[in-house]
Amino acid sequence: MRCVAVDLPTIRAALCSYDHSQRLQALVALRHHSTADAEPILLAALESDAFIIRSFACMGLGQKRTEAGFQALLERARHDKDPNVRAEAASALSWFGFERCTSLLLRLFSQDDHWLVRQSIIAALSECGNPGSQLQVARQGLVGEDDTVRYSALELLGVLVGSHLEGEAETLLLAASHDENPWIRRIATRTMGNFPGEAARQRCLELRRDPDHRVVAASLESTLKLESGPRSEFSI
């Protein structure tokens, strides 16, 4: 079925509605319009008092990329009062290209300790293809206090297999496998299943005796993966 684009006057009228669902639908409808037409509407939506509207506007500006949109997203990522919006703005910034945005995302990660924002940045940087930046953000995430961020940081280390920083990533995982939190040990053990080093293999064998059954299960899974030979996006 052919999708019929909603005209701009209808979109503008819907954005004045008190019904959030109508406003959201209007923002989504902008995907059928040119960047030039969508930009001013999305920028105006960033001033909404509803965080969900601002979040959708951030997504739209990531898709309809302009310099004004970039600057507006950077401002929201730094200063919006709602972490949902800051997280969405950070994610949208990554769509402008990692060559421009990687250092910005690393600074945002250092400056904003909210778990949702940090999760968004880790997810974005997992695709950046820069092992140094990935290791940097993983290190920072691991020393934070939020376990959800630590989980994601450990999983991010898995992308470094086959890179020149594989050894450093493995060292961080080995240290995390001794953490008192069983979920940290479990994720570290599961991620070590991607690392071909002997130290990772030996540690996975040791963790078969871990007091937590979930860690034991992860160790068995990782041992099997290592025996069959891990694969990496960096491997030839």
pLDDT the model gives residue 200: 94
Q: Taking Cα atoms as reference points, which of 218, 214, 228 lies closest to residue 191?
A: 218
Residues 209 and 187 sit within 8 Å (Cβ to Cβ): no
DSSP structural state of residue 212 = S
Q: What is the pTM of this model?
A: 0.89
pLDDT the model gives residue 12: 85
Residues 108-129 pLDDT 10s: 999 999 999 999 999 999 999 9
Q: Taking Cα atoms as reference points, which of 152, 137, 213, 226 lies closest to residue 188?
A: 152
State the residue for tokens 């080093």: 197
pLDDT the model gives residue 32: 87
Low-confidence ranges of the chain (pLDDT < 70): 1-4, 229-236
Q: Which CATH number fits domain 7-128: 1.10.3720.10, 1.10.443.10, 1.25.10.10, 3.40.190.10?
A: 1.25.10.10
- Can you tell me the distance from the alpha carbon of 169 to that of 36, in angstroms, rounded to the nearest whole number? 44
- Can you tell me the distance from the alpha carbon of 52 to that of 30, in angstroms, rounded to the nearest whole number? 16
The CB density around residue 179, as the number of other CB atoms within 10 Å, is: 17
pLDDT the model gives residue 13: 83
DSSP tally for the chain: helices H, then strands E: 14, 0
Spatial neighbors of 133 by CB under 8 A, at least 6 apart, are: 102, 106, 125
pLDDT the model gives residue 234: 44
pLDDT the model gives residue 28: 87
- Can you tell me the distance from the alpha carbon of 159 to that of 156, in angstroms, rounded to the nearest whole number? 6
Domain locations in the chain as residue ranges: 7-128
